[in-house]
Structure 1
Amino acid sequence: MKSTISCCMNCQERHLACHDTCEKYLKARQEYQEQKHKIIENARKDNLAD
Structure 2
Amino acid sequence: MSISKSYHEKQIEKIDKLIQKSFWLKHKSYWFLNKWRNEHLRELKKSEEGEVI
Q: Same fold (TM over 0.5)?
A: yes
Q: Unaligned 5+ residue runs, structure 2? A: 1-10, 12-20
Q: 1:27-46 deviations in whole A, cap 9, x for unaligned?
A: 11000010000000000000
Q: Unaligned 5+ residue runs, structure 1? A: 4-17
Structure 1's consecutive aligned runs of 4 or more residues displaced over 4 angstroms after TM superposition are: none
What is the one-letter code of the residue matched to 2:41?
A: H
Partner of 1:38: 42
Partner of 1:21: 26
What is the one-letter code of the residue matched to 1:36?
A: H
Structure of larger gyration radius = 1
Structure with more relative contact order (C-alpha pairs < 8 Å, separation 6 or more): 2
What percentage of residue pairs aligned between the two structures are identical?
0
| Aligned-CA RMSD value | 2.1
TM-score by length of 2: 0.52
